[in-house]
Structure 1
């Protein structure tokens, strides 16, 4: 009998959970995909880098000893690497919040998503990195 109650509770709980609303519509999601995000393996200096070839892309992942490198077709796509520099207070990552395609250009607007302070580790150095696949060869403007 308990299992029936738990099962019903679980079904009600799952069905009542809403989906996260995004500012990016479905066409825009296909233009920008998050390949990798991490709080600790980025560079200690802030940088934004557009990668247009496999060798540079591969060197990024080998730099933090990744076991698998996600596939990217560089004939159709570019890769954007955002290192947010070193932060000793709390970790955060960067997420694409808005994407505008205008006059042959792609404008990407990013926002920082901070880790809750209660999850932060004392005396830990955070070096967040976010890697995005841009499914277009158009000029990219970052804001």
Structure 2
């Protein structure tokens, strides 16, 4: 029975890996959410604007992100790493609620969505994060609703 379970699990993993997408999770004309999940973020809440070449080169090394970015993207895009910190359950997500382009900057409003009562949540600690590409080199201002 254990061999059958391991075999089925292995086959499911192969199918999931084989069905990987080459498109960002969310894409619009102004931004892309390149990657993110509930478990691989940091233990504390923060966001970081990635606009230096050194930080950008770290993105190029990440297996989940490098298929969405090219080395020249540092000249025409900014990137934001968003971490929600530790959460008590599954179901927390990050959303770009609004992106407002002004003459001198871009204002990005990020929203943390808590799981709804309808969601199938599990009582385990999660650390949601995402990486967002802003399709502009204008300075960024990040807003989070109080």
- For the superposition of Structure 1 and Structure 2, which TM-score range results when normalised by the shorter chain? 0.5 to 0.7
Distance 1:46 1:61, change over 3 A: farther
Secondary structure, counterpart of 1:99 in structure 2: strand
Tell me the number of residue pairs that the alignment of Structure 1 and Structure 2 aligns.
113
Counterpart of 1:31 in structure 2 is 30
Q: Distance in 2 between matches of 1:51 and 1:66?
A: 17
In 2 relative to 1, CA 128–67 (structure 1 residues): closer, same or farther, beyond 3 Å?
closer
2:17 maps to: none
Bigger-Rg structure (1/2): 1
Partner of 1:119: helix, strand, or coil? coil
Compared CA separation, residues 136 and 114, structure 1 to 2 (3 A)? same
Alpha-carbon distance in 1 for matches of 2:65, 2:105: 31
TM score, norm. by length of structure 2: 0.66
Structure 1 ranges of 4+ moved more than 6 A: none
Counterpart contact for 1:37–1:93, Cα < 8 Å: no
Structure 1 stretches lacking a partner, 5+ long: 1-25
Whole-angstrom CA distance in 2 between matches of 1:101 and 1:86: 31
CA–CA distance in structure 2, aligned partners of residues 141 and 119 of structure 1: 34
Give the Cα separation in 1 of the matches to 2:120 and 2:63.
24
Deviation at 1:58, TM superposition (A): 5.0
For 1:1-143, list aligned pairs within 5 A: 29-53=28-52, 55-59=54-58, 66=63, 69=66, 70-72=68-70, 73-117=73-117, 118-122=119-123, 124-143=124-143
RMSD over aligned CA atoms reads 2.5
- How much does 1:93 deviate? 1.5
Q: Is the 8 A contact 1:35 1:133 kept in 2?
A: yes
Q: List alignment gaps of at least 5 residues for structure 2.
A: 1-26
- Structure 2 CA distance, aligned partners of 1:135 and 1:68? 15
Q: CA deviation at 1:55?
A: 4.3
